[in-house]
Structure 1
């Protein structure tokens, strides 16, 4: 999708419709499903764009009635798209960093993991499955899963690097969940666990690489 994110594209569409007079103050905007069809971006991205528009007071949502436009002043939305571009730079950089670092870490973890560490990874994965649909819990176990792989690598520098990066960019994981939902993490984490269980370093590295490269591709950064 180029440098602009799917959310940014949705917001640009909102601005265009307001500017053209197609969306009028006090009227209901199209449904999420219709906006998905009109813009070509995912429903989760449409939802995020609407939520951010609500957050700056441009729209208001009513349960069972839909979302309504509150103002035709596009200043706030324009500023919001600039903020999202900065946010997207952070997402891209963080994913690229993880692709470089965590691919090798997964290979080491496959070779060096103990049975106790494998059991911990399996438990964390089961919790991700259990809390599919609960963003806060799912993200928590997602982060712990990747940190546990770093611990299993038995390399203190790798662990410290990952822990420090995750601590500084913890909110980015919530952005990933908004964009990707729950299924991607479950699918790739299962492949990673299978490789680590078999102590197959090549497969572990490949699965981790595929996991993060898929995220980069979906966000249009490749």
Structure 2
């Protein structure tokens, strides 16, 4: 029989919040307590609550509106199914997600270099500043990483492409949180993002496209290596 793995703290927190939603303590449209408030209520760290919120967003239970807070979504709980992101830490699945991201985000970077505005560049710079300042703080760095990719998507100016990337955004954010340790050193990830930014800022579509390709491909190679090592360890 397969051994049961103990649940991580953030998974326990997410399950607790989900049960409160199912019981009607938090109703559709309600704003959840802030990260700080929820952390105090449950006696856990803010990073744990942030991961729990990301998992709940990936399940479609809540919506995280940056600058506003986290809100309970209106859904049919009886038909709620575990999305791919909850079990997405199998290496093969993570690689498939990265392949999808490569297809979408490489094109988004190219379009962003053609269509970006000064406001788009400011959003990217803010994300890069946070990544640079919090290289040793995983939650802040991961959130800034995610926001950078969302800023690039927005800068593409293609509403259909933006919608497609937003569709996988909760899964992206959830897996970024859980796969950070195998994605590469923070300084390398920051360097990759800076190269993407420079191509977009300079309005050089091919440079931006290549930089995004190199970034995602580099992460894919690290994940592949991790998967191979994990499989060898199981044999």
TM-score for the superposition, normalised by structure 2: 0.57
Q: Following TM superposition, by how much is the alpha carbon of 1:188 offset from its aligned partner in structure 2, in angstroms?
A: 0.3
| Deviation readout 1:13-32 (Å, 9 max, x if unpaired) | xxxxxxxxxxxxxxxxxxxx
1:205 aligned residue (202, 209, 216): 209
Match for residue 95 of structure 1?
98
Q: How does 1:42-121 map to 2 (within 5 A)?
A: 87-121=90-124
The verdict on how the C-alpha distance between 1:144 and 1:84 changes in structure 2, with shifts beyond 3 A counting, is closer
Q: How does 1:1-222 map to 2 (within 5 A)?
A: 87-180=90-183, 181-220=185-224
Q: Following TM superposition, by how much is the alpha carbon of 1:184 offset from its aligned partner in structure 2, in angstroms?
A: 2.5
Match for residue 13 of structure 1?
none
| Deviation readout 1:60-99 (Å, 9 max, x if unpaired) | xxxxxxxxxxxxxxxxxxxxxxx99961122101110011
RMSD: 2.7
Gaps of 5+ in 2: 9-85, 229-235
CA distance in 2: counterparts of 1:168 and 1:85, whole angstroms: 8
Q: Following TM superposition, by how much is the alpha carbon of 1:187 offset from its aligned partner in structure 2, in angstroms?
A: 1.0
| Deviation readout 1:105-160 (Å, 9 max, x if unpaired) | 10000010011111211111111111111111111111110000000000111111
Contact 2:91–2:224 (Cα < 8 Å) also in 1: no
Contact 2:95–2:224 (Cα < 8 Å) also in 1: no
CA distance in 2: counterparts of 1:176 and 1:162, whole angstroms: 19
TM-score for the superposition, normalised by structure 1: 0.60
Match for residue 42 of structure 1?
none
The verdict on how the C-alpha distance between 1:89 and 1:141 changes in structure 2, with shifts beyond 3 A counting, is same
Q: Which protein, 1 or 2, shows the higher relative CO under an 8 Å CA cutoff with sep ≥ 6?
A: 1
